[in-house]
Amino acid sequence: MAEKTIVVLGAGVGGLVAARELRKRLGMEHRVVLVDRRDIHVFSPSLLWLMLGWRRPEQLYRDLNALGRKGIDFKHTPVEGIDLAERRVDTGLGPLHYDYLVLSLGAELVPDAVPGLKDAGHTFYHLDGALRLREALEVFQGGSVAVVVASTPFQCPPAPYEASLLLDYYFRRRGLRDRVEMRLYTPEPRPIPIAAAEVGQAVAGMLEQRRIAYHPGHRITGVSPEDRALSFENGEEAGCDLLIAVPPHQPPPVAREAGLLDGQPWAPVDRLTMKTKFENVYAIGDMALVATAGPLPLPKAGVFAHAQAQVVAKNIAGEIRGRAVGNEFDGRGFCFLETGYGKAALASGDFFAEPAPALKLRRPARLWHGAKILFEQWWLRWWF
Ligand SMILES: Cc1cc2nc3c(=O)[nH]c(=O)nc-3n(C[C@H](O)[C@H](O)[C@H](O)COP(=O)(O)OP(=O)(O)OC[C@H]3O[C@@H](n4cnc5c(N)ncnc54)[C@H](O)[C@@H]3O)c2cc1C
């Protein structure tokens, strides 16, 4: 068995799992290289708790350099280019040649795509943003709060709904709720539109019950940085005192430049194996375009990146070791939707179901909130 080099790009959810699973399944004669421009891995679901001061930052990230102990060659450096014909990745530390390439570079946040958004708005979609938002919330004494989804698709479709419900609970606990007017704007036609209309109605019902005004079908076109006046494509305008945005997302530029998008908005893959059309090259997680039976592709969520990484790692290791390689991603997933009061709802289902994805929403319960805490603790211990 000749020695192989497997290069994994991105040490977020998909890349971390792929590298760890490959290392577990392959002898040390094979190299597993993991590349990321950051040297920490952040557990994103906890950013919501961080923004409310329920977590300290160091509780939700881990040092990627620690993966050296597990036999993974971690390179803290940006990926600058990918030459698929030459089987080479160019990084800030020089070229890396691969036999197999697993891309899990995520989705890039581009707040600048909406004029004024970056300067006028906060976001909880990354660590620094969530920390700055926490500071802003600490001094907030009342006024109007607008949670704005700038465009679709975006990571974790329940997250803006979850954030709004948690903010409502946070303001109540601080005795401020009567002084806060809350609104949620999104271009989506309803919450979690990949699910059946009942699921969306249930989530919209939760917002209504908590006095959060819901404005679907609203695509933001600009914000005036001076007074945070929001403009929407439908001609409506609205002011707010605190703007919290889910910024626009785009595929990683290096993937586009390498030709991995093939004219599509995200990197197309075989939905069962995550293979791209390039030999021995796989794309997983948020950057991948995975078809469902419905009009919308698979949502961008860590639970899928995790499962896809396991499938890809098993198949690559199997191929190298001359064993079976028939593992397939099954399109199943779940997501907790925190609602405050120590409770969470649970959305779960089969996204590859025919004729349309089949999802269920379980009522908010303490059980699911507890399960989310256990999942967080497990994630940060298990992989590091
Ligand atoms: C607030 C929030 C809450 C969420 N909650 C949930 C949840 O409850 N459940 C769930 O399933 N999902 C959730 N998600 C979504 C989940 O975090 C993502 O879907 C998941 O991280 C995707 O994994 P990935 O490996 O595709 O990308 P990522 O985890 O984003 O990793 C991509 C990595 O690539 C690196 N990278 C990118 N470009 C380069 C480059 N040029 N050079 C070097 N490195 C590069 C990045 O630094 C990053 O580390 C949430 C996301 C957010 C923001």
Q: What is the pLDDT of residue 264?
A: 97
Between 161 and 323, where is the model more confident? 161
- Does 226 have pLDDT greater than 90? no
Alpha carbon nearest to ligand 1 atom 27, residue? 106
Q: List, in sequence order, every residue forming a beta bridge with 162; answer none if it has no partner.
A: none
Distance from Cα 296 to the centre of ligand 1, integer Å: 20
Q: What confidence tier does 138 reach under pLDDT thresholds 50, 70, 90?
A: very high
Domain 5-107+251-320 grouped into CATH 3.40.50.2020: no
Does the Cβ of 251 fall within 6 Å of ligand 1? no
* pLDDT tens digits for range 330-345: 999 999 999 999 999 9
Q: State the first-to-last Cα distance of the chain, in angstroms, to the nearest integer.
A: 29
Closest C-alpha among 13, 48, 80 to residue 300: 13
Does the Cβ of 191 fall within 6 Å of ligand 1? no
Q: What is the pLDDT of residue 1?
A: 63
Distance from Cα 1 to the centre of ligand 1, integer Å: 34
Q: Is 63 exposed, middle or buried (0-12, 13-18, 19+ CB in 10 A)?
A: exposed
Written as six digits, the tokens of 350 are: 């089969």
Does the Cβ of 11 fall within 6 Å of ligand 1? yes
Distance CA 260, CA 281 (A): 10
**pTM over the 0.85 mark:** yes
Distance CA 313, CA 101 (A): 11
Q: Is 222 exposed, middle or buried (0-12, 13-18, 19+ CB in 10 A)?
A: middle
Distance from Cα 330 to the centre of ligand 1, integer Å: 20
Q: What is the pLDDT of residue 37?
A: 98
Q: What is the pLDDT of residue 2?
A: 84
Q: What is the pLDDT of residue 227?
A: 87
Numbered ranges of CATH 3.50.50.60 in the chain: 5-107+251-320, 110-248
* pLDDT tens digits for range 273-315: 999 999 999 999 999 999 999 999 999 999 999 999 999 999 9
The three-class DSSP label of residue 192 is coil
Homologous superfamily of the 110-248 domain (CATH): FAD/NAD(P)-binding domain (3.50.50.60)
Distance from Cα 322 to the centre of ligand 1, integer Å: 32
Does the Cβ of 76 fall within 6 Å of ligand 1? no
Closest C-alpha among 147, 170, 168 to residue 159: 147
- Interior CA angle at 288 toward 12 and 33, to 5°? 40
